Structure 1
């Protein structure tokens, strides 16, 4: 009998039953006041006169009117560079002990995002909220005694000018509470290994000694780790190694493109729970089983705004125009794409995180990530966001009975006009011309803007299949394997030329 598991499960269920009904709109209003109050005496707070904003009749409107949008380059140049240099009280009280390094999906140059003590507390609090939400998933008592594999970046953080730097998953794992270490795998020693391939090999060697009940990490890297464990231990699927595996908490990107290939690694279905832990904070998690949407964490040190994802408001580099309108939580509508804007306890203010989302349930504040502002394919008016591209790839998987966990594309100019040129990561052998035809037909039926573009300057679709591991090698060559690194779904022509040269070199 799972005595400890029953105790933990009983505590979680009792705690959840005592929780009061939430009002996300009121929670957000309180969060904005709290953020402004705490930061009013910082350099940023004095520059934008937070005192006057708090004295206004409508704090949300005054806040939006007084402070411009900030992308990373703008806030780094004007404010965070001073934080990196060690100045105190710049955009948040004090000095942060950590900086999250994030190359994200673009560029080799790492971004440095402040991670304050208040943000670490926010992340821990969000993790606890997610644990409490497990009461909604009716997990058996035995589950709460199993180990959890957290596959993130290395916890061996780099010392720099009195602070530590690393990816947010590594920072979070290096600050887990002592009581959790009993459940945490791969454990401190392996987690500190910086080289991804070496770390995964160590995991594969130790895997049979662990009793893993849950996995947590970005889907692309999780898949590669599971494949290595399966291959090294010469088994058919991961449940032969970890028979008690019941939950996977995905994060960082939409899980849909990986669903088919991920499930192929399992012996039987498990519960997939989506989370939204970005370098800038823990923003949302799935808290009930009858949806794949995630609930925004509206009472945890982050204030959200939403800009309609319309082409006239988004610049080519993913930044927003100055006149782009922002909406608050009480103003949004369901099934509309929005650019997500956050203000946080790490001194991010009206920060364009780079993701687009849509609400599936406004009252519950439940969202889905629909794409990236930089991955909006609008060359010759086709207006395709990542969620529409994901839908098209899922259609290909169903129609052609193949698995395509990775892809990238570009609106590439040829002598006779533009073609959407796709590279599909799959180990299946399929006719490229047939795939292009299926893809083109689906997009014309699913998206009226694409259909119009096809009647004008968009000549058609070209498809190339490459092995799935090429995408991981590209990430390794351009950034770093593992952690928070995500594949760019849409590339500009210059970057795409580098990609095609990389693929051709690998094919030799």
Structure 2
């Protein structure tokens, strides 16, 4: 039975060995040049004179000095709205997008509608092939390549809106999978089209015994919920009792480490975790080798990258960049320094603030880790806490107290005594003492961040911790956005949003 798998594995290994490693810097300049060439006759390209940029001596420098930064709200207000309001074409990319990716992001209830061009779908398809090819670098047996893959995304039942369709990017991608892959793909077209998350997961649980799943793919928080449902429905001790050949989990969109401990409790044996970076705006990076938890930027795939140093003076309160924030190209980045990621893409996003912060862990291989979100930067009283530092502190609590904390949210606000405190809500199903966790969390943050330590000696009075069930976070997302898909929990809230959260927690009791 493993013969077919051996053939597939051999073909993948041959392709991987025959595909030459490109020159990253040349690839990126070529991507930018192609983007400018293809879009030079669009409204956007004419407005910013892409023809002149293409004829300049240094197109990277000229591009950066000519085109301003755009976050979603700015580019939608100035450009993308024309697709919907005026039925326009050739706005920021040639033609009209056949799809729009709906994304609620991590804050707010208002959905974003991000154009997805045919060129972007092709770029995502090629990135997917790169990911499959990279499996030859992992120690996987031949029979793995005969197993089925559970892709837990949003519904593939896309909504028809005039001449285009709308849905989350995972649903758009799954609705465009190649025909030869469909026999491997689970939960299958019929179940994948179910819009309601709970109904879809119920159907997955009911059918789980009919599938031989070798790999999982999806966001960790929702994958955990699905696995728990399958385990509960079939009265199992762990997921390997029903899917004994499960060997790989492809995570995406968020750092896996905060979920690792709770995720592993659902397994009967260790599996290979592989990170990917598929955002609503494009497939940006993938892990292509074992022995690391970093991802390699896809530098020849229709996305041009720029990087803004992640420093408080360059970040506005809403997570946008200040006008004087400097952007640097790939060659000027440095290892272990945090950057705000900017992308220009084959869907007509230009110098677009995707909202994530990253750091390079290996410059030679151009490998990165997602470290947080620009909006999840807590600096109300000078503490300068990024999500990366928060995640590290939470991990230290898990190790010290032998507990699992898959989710958290924090805000800075004044207490009844008029002093500023950091108020944390930690999700855990384990027995723990909030006061002990508060002291340990405060200590860990002082040790890891000198700015936090200084703030604690001045304007920041202390840390207050409350413990809630992980289900509270899932219910909050369901009430404010939607379950499943690309939805991620916000980690840092402003005072107004945090008051809503606390009221929600109170109402659930």
TM-score normalized with structure 1 length: 0.99
The answer as to 2:147 corresponding to 1:146 is yes
CA contact (8 A) 1:24 1:364 kept: no
* Cα distance in 1 for residues equivalent to 2:439 and 2:190: 50
Match of 1:62 in 2: 62
Q: Deviations over 1:19-58 (max 9, x none)?
A: 1122211110110000000000000000000000011111
* Cα distance in 1 for residues equivalent to 2:414 and 2:151: 42
* Cα distance in 1 for residues equivalent to 2:65 and 2:290: 39
SS of 1:323's equivalent in the other structure is: coil
Q: Deviations over 1:226-252 (max 9, x none)?
A: 000001100000000100000000001
SS of 2:498's equivalent in the other structure is: helix
* Cα distance in 2 for residues equivalent to 1:25 and 1:501: 50
* Cα distance in 2 for residues equivalent to 1:416 and 1:437: 21
Residue pairs, 1:159-174, within 5 angstroms? 159-174=160-175
The answer as to 2:218 corresponding to 1:234 is no
Residue pairs, 1:110-125, within 5 angstroms? 110-125=111-126
SS of 2:391's equivalent in the other structure is: helix
* Runs (5+) with no aligned partner, structure 2: none
Match of 1:361 in 2: 362
The answer as to 2:84 corresponding to 1:77 is no
CA offset at residue 122 of structure 1? Answer: 0.5
CA offset at residue 416 of structure 1? Answer: 3.3
CA contact (8 A) 1:318 1:374 kept: yes
SS of 2:466's equivalent in the other structure is: strand
Match of 1:399 in 2: 400
Match of 1:435 in 2: 437
CA offset at residue 482 of structure 1? Answer: 0.2
SS of 1:487's equivalent in the other structure is: coil
Q: Deviations over 1:84-109 (max 9, x none)?
A: 34211000000011000000101111
* Cα distance in 1 for residues equivalent to 2:25 and 2:464: 46
Q: Deviations over 1:421-466 (max 9, x none)?
A: 1001111121111110111111111111110000001010000000
CA offset at residue 141 of structure 1? Answer: 0.6
The answer as to 2:104 corresponding to 1:103 is yes
Residue pairs, 1:209-224, within 5 angstroms? 209-224=210-225
* Cα distance in 2 for residues equivalent to 1:282 and 1:272: 18
* Cα distance in 2 for residues equivalent to 1:159 and 1:112: 13
Quick check: 77-86 or 376-385, which moved more?
Answer: 77-86
The answer as to 2:37 corresponding to 1:37 is yes
* Cα distance in 2 for residues equivalent to 1:329 and 1:489: 28
The answer as to 2:454 corresponding to 1:452 is yes
CA offset at residue 160 of structure 1? Answer: 1.1
Match of 2:421 in 1: 419
* Cα distance in 2 for residues equivalent to 1:200 and 1:316: 37
CA offset at residue 335 of structure 1? Answer: 0.3
SS of 2:275's equivalent in the other structure is: strand
Residue pairs, 1:366-385, within 5 angstroms? 366-385=367-386
SS of 2:202's equivalent in the other structure is: helix
Equivalent residue in structure 1 for 2:480, among 466, 478, 481? 478
* Runs (5+) with no aligned partner, structure 1: none
TM-score normalized with structure 2 length: 0.99
Match of 1:205 in 2: 206
CA offset at residue 4 of structure 1? Answer: 1.1
CA offset at residue 129 of structure 1? Answer: 0.6
SS of 2:420's equivalent in the other structure is: strand
CA offset at residue 139 of structure 1? Answer: 1.2
* Cα distance in 1 for residues equivalent to 2:419 and 2:203: 49
Report runs of 4+ in structure 1 exceeding 6 Å deviation: none
CA offset at residue 162 of structure 1? Answer: 1.6
* Cα distance in 2 for residues equivalent to 1:413 and 1:73: 30
* Cα distance in 2 for residues equivalent to 1:174 and 1:5: 25
Q: Deviations over 1:206-261 (max 9, x none)?
A: 00110000000000000000000001100000000100000000001011100100
* Cα distance in 2 for residues equivalent to 1:266 and 1:200: 18
* Cα distance in 1 for residues equivalent to 2:387 and 2:329: 24
* Cα distance in 2 for residues equivalent to 1:467 and 1:320: 35
SS of 1:384's equivalent in the other structure is: coil
Match of 1:19 in 2: 19
Q: State the Cα RMSD in Å.
A: 0.7
* Cα distance in 1 for residues equivalent to 2:170 and 2:96: 21
Q: Deviations over 1:260-283 (max 9, x none)?
A: 000111001100000000000000
* Cα distance in 2 for residues equivalent to 1:21 and 1:100: 31
CA contact (8 A) 1:89 1:95 kept: yes
